[in-house]
A = this chain, B = another copy of it.
Amino acid sequence: MKRVTIGEIAERAGVSTGAVSYALNGRPGVSEETRRRILEIADRLGWRPSLAARSLSGSRAHSVGLVLARPADTLGVEPFFMRFIAGLERELSGQRTGLLLQVVEDHAAAVEAIRLWWAERRVDGLVVTDLYAQDARLPVIAELGVPAVLAGRPRGDGALGAVWADDTAAVDSSVDYLVALGHRRIARVAGLPALDHTRVRVAAFRAAVLRHGLGEPRVVETDYTAEEGARATRALLSRPDRPTAILYDNDVMAVAALNVAQEMGIPVPGELSVLAGDDSQLCVLVRPALTALSWDIQAYGLHTARVLLELIDGRPARSHQERTPVLTVRGSTAAAPAG
Contacts and interface: CB of A to CB of B under 8 A. Distances in A.
A255 B285 contact: yes
A326 interface: no
B52 A285 contact: no
Contact of A86 (B63, B78, B103): B103
Nearest to A255: B285
Contact of A119 (B48, B53, B226): B48
A53 B56 contact: yes
Given A83-B75, A259-B287, A51 B122 contact: yes
Contacts of A79: 76-77
A142 to B, nearest CB: 12
A184 interface: no
Nearest to A80: B76
A145 to B, nearest CB: 6
A56 to B, nearest CB: 4
A121 interface: yes
A176 interface: no
B76 A89 contact: no
Contacts of A51: 52, 55, 61, 120-122
Given A121-B51, A226-B281, A252-B281, A83 B89 contact: no
A49 interface: yes
Given A56-B53, A76-B83, A79-B76, A284 B89 contact: no
- Which size bracket describes the interface of A in this complex? 35 or more
Contact of A50 (B63, B82, B121, B258): B121
B83 A82 contact: no
A339 to B, nearest CB: 28
B101 A226 contact: no
Contacts of A298: 72
A101 B123 CA distance: 13
Interface stretch (A92-100, A210-218, A305-313): A92-100
Given A99-B100, A100-B98, A83 B93 contact: no
Interface in A217-259: 226, 252, 255-256, 258-259
Nearest to A79: B76
A85 interface: yes
Contacts of A262: 287
Given A101-B101, A252-B285, 11 more contacts: A1-B145, A50-B121, A72-B298, A76-B80, A76-B83, A76-B280, A98-B122, A100-B101, A226-B281, A255-B285, A256-B285
Interface of A: 1, 3, 46, 48-53, 55-56, 61, 63, 72-73, 75-83, 85-87, 89, 93, 98-104, 113, 116-117, 119-122, 145, 226, 252, 255-256, 258-259, 262, 280-282, 284-287, 298
28 contacts: A49-B120, A50-B120, A50-B121, A51-B52, A51-B55, A51-B61, A52-B55, A52-B121, A56-B56, A63-B100, A72-B87, A73-B281, A76-B80, A77-B79, A77-B280, A77-B282, A85-B103, A86-B103, A89-B103, A89-B104, A93-B102, A98-B102, A98-B122, A99-B100, A226-B284, A226-B285, A252-B281, A286-B286
